Copies of this chain bind each other. A is one copy, B any other.
């Protein structure tokens, strides 16, 4: 099953992809994160699918995708996780995963424009991401595997100038609405083997990696994280990026205003995000009260 979060007027709705991936049917949840928190969500989705009428559907091409998990409680990312890339850099494989955190505000939709204010070194990081489906605390790998609700595509877009201002990466990784996630979450029963993760800039392939070469695969990561903090349904774990980021190129290459960033995992789908760079003119732009967990 493939699930998405769609815009629906001022609100959002979870939806399931049907009819050979050509149409979405709305589900009675505001988003995929809320959906997976309901232990009965599969039964609900099955009944919507089996009772489907074409009148209910939205064509996949017309559907407006928004952030898959707009209210994720935790978004935890792993760095330095592709063994091929680590070894080609001449480093030893790490004993522990390098982890850092973001917030739901960092996430955005699969087709959304990514507006970046005040960075001149915007880089890409194509990644497989894992949606947590059941609570996990001090879980072993088998329990962690069972707790995976599904897999999705993410790009951990990184403001390298901010990331490297200090030793801690957080500030370069947590710009609001800069990490696209989607277009769908695919459930584990539809997954066969490993994933091919690819990143493109203006159609040019810049990154490729196979998740079979992850040092810490999804179950290992979830188990490890759950040793110190509880994971809940709708939390999102980004598994790291393969070689080919702009910062590593000689000379380094960064995203330019107007570039199209494409992130693709065969079998799940593709993110297509236009990059817009905005100069920080130093003028404070205090916006009126922000009431949503805004992704726009």
Q: Which residues of A contact B (CB under 8 A)?
A: 73-74, 76, 79-80, 94-103, 105-106, 117-118, 134-140, 143, 159, 162, 165-171, 174-176, 223, 225, 227-230, 232, 280, 284-291, 293-294
- Complex Cα–Cα for A171 and B100 (A): 8
Which B residues are in CB contact (< 8 Å) with A285? 137-138
Which B residues are in CB contact (< 8 Å) with A165? 95-96
CB of A214 to closest CB in B, whole Å: 16
Q: Which 10 A-B pairs have the closest CB atoms?
A: A140-B284, A98-B166, A101-B101, A96-B165, A135-B290, A175-B228, A138-B285, A100-B168, A135-B289, A99-B171
Interface of A is mostly: loop
CB of A153 to closest CB in B, whole Å: 23
Excluding A135-B288, A168-B169, 16 further A-B contacts by CB distance (< 8 Å) are: A79-B168, A95-B165, A96-B165, A96-B166, A99-B170, A105-B229, A117-B138, A118-B227, A135-B289, A137-B286, A138-B285, A138-B287, A140-B286, A162-B228, A168-B168, A170-B170
In contact, B290 and A105 (Cβ under 8 angstroms): no
CB of A188 to closest CB in B, whole Å: 18
CB of A253 to closest CB in B, whole Å: 22
Which B residues are in CB contact (< 8 Å) with A134? 289
In contact, A230 and B290 (Cβ under 8 angstroms): yes
* Given contact pairs A101-B102, A170-B99, A170-B100, A230 touches B135 in the complex (Cβ within 8 A): no
Give the nearest-CB partner of A141 in chain B.
B284
In contact, A103 and B105 (Cβ under 8 angstroms): no
Copies of the chain in the assembly: 2
CB of A144 to closest CB in B, whole Å: 9
Give the nearest-CB partner of A165 in chain B.
B96
- Complex Cα–Cα for A101 and B284 (A): 24
In contact, B167 and A167 (Cβ under 8 angstroms): yes
User: Among B103, B167, B174, which residue has its beta carbon within 8 angstroms of that of A98?
Assistant: B167
Q: Which of A79, A101, A140 has the most CB of B within 10 A?
A: A101
Which B residues are in CB contact (< 8 Å) with A100? 100-101, 168, 170
Give the nearest-CB partner of A288 in chain B.
B135
Which B residues are in CB contact (< 8 Å) with A227? 117-118, 280
* Given contact pairs A284-B143, A287-B135, A294 touches B230 in the complex (Cβ within 8 A): yes
